[in-house]
Chain A
């Protein structure tokens, strides 16, 4: 057989075709009695329904966690989870924290040094010392 095929798997590029939001579930925990949950309770009654309507792709769970500070937990497609404690925070601040969790990818935070990372090969190829016009200095 002159040529054989090599079996691989085409790699995903999230956002090139469809964009899959990486946050798949948000858990909101609150306590009915502790004062640190006051802002959270306000957030749950006022802002959360609108947030849930805007983001139907996120499963939202609300559950009491008595005698504990309120917490938001995000569960991600890569299997990781992130938790933010929101004790004594106002509803607006809790909304900001929720957005942080919603927009996260689930990976550990890392510094991006290049503006673009791409799997496509560059138009001019990889520089090679044996090609192109050689010119002396």
Chain B
């Protein structure tokens, strides 16, 4: 939110103690003397928000200060209100938030959905995975058919032998873990479960 940091109220040059030559010797903020007290105090004197002042036209007005807190879950989003709910109309003219398209995405690249696989392809995926599970792992199949590994897991299942082998491999790896790593993994799992309870 660097964009919302407001510019200083006065031009920079009128505050000479901010200049670098001063800051070298003074280490700004750490020391405060009687002589400099008034200057620092003056900078903190910010004009209050316009909505806090007396009303201009002498008529009623609604002051909207969004709370600086995370929204409550009991406040149903307007989109989730039933069509006949009064609150839908009441909230219609409240200012909307930032433009969604300008906000950065959580993922670096949005995965594009292609829907290009045919039933024959899926049959082949199943056949490959069943016949040669050691070569054709989920990731290799995903790369070859240009889909996600989750999709491979959705359409077919590994053979029981392969599952057994994979379980043994996992056990062998886990047996080499020390107490620290084991505890860290368990904690991570517990933290992940706590997300679902919103703790």
Contacts and interface: CB of A to CB of B under 8 A. Distances in A.
Given A121-B72, A125-B72, A134 B67 contact: no
Contacts of A127: 68-69
B46 to A, nearest CB: 6
A3 to B, nearest CB: 9
Given A6-B197, A137-B43, A137-B44, A126 B4 contact: no
A132 B67 CA distance: 6
Nearest to B4: A134
A111 interface: no
Instruction: Describe B's contact surface by its main secondary structure.
Output: loop
A137 B46 CA distance: 7
Given A6-B197, A137-B44, A132 B69 contact: yes
Interface of A: 6, 121, 124-137
Interface in B1-18: 1, 4-8
Contacts of A137: 43-44, 46
Contacts of B66: 131-133
Contacts of B46: 135, 137
B70 A131 contact: yes
Contact of A124 (B8, B43, B44, B69): B69
Contacts of A6: 197
A130 B68 CA distance: 8
A11 to B, nearest CB: 18
A137 B66 CA distance: 19
Contacts of B7: 136
Given A6-B197, A137-B43, A137-B46, A126 B5 contact: no
A20 B139 CA distance: 66
B70 A126 contact: yes
B6 A128 contact: no
A136 B2 CA distance: 10
Interface in B69-89: 69-72
19 contacts: A125-B69, A125-B72, A126-B69, A126-B70, A128-B70, A131-B68, A131-B69, A132-B66, A132-B68, A132-B69, A133-B4, A133-B65, A133-B66, A134-B1, A134-B5, A135-B5, A136-B4, A136-B7, A137-B43
Given A137-B43, A137-B44, A137-B46, A125 B67 contact: yes
A44 B103 CA distance: 78
A137 B65 CA distance: 18
A132 to B, nearest CB: 3
Contacts of A128: 68-70
B52 to A, nearest CB: 12
A136 B5 CA distance: 5
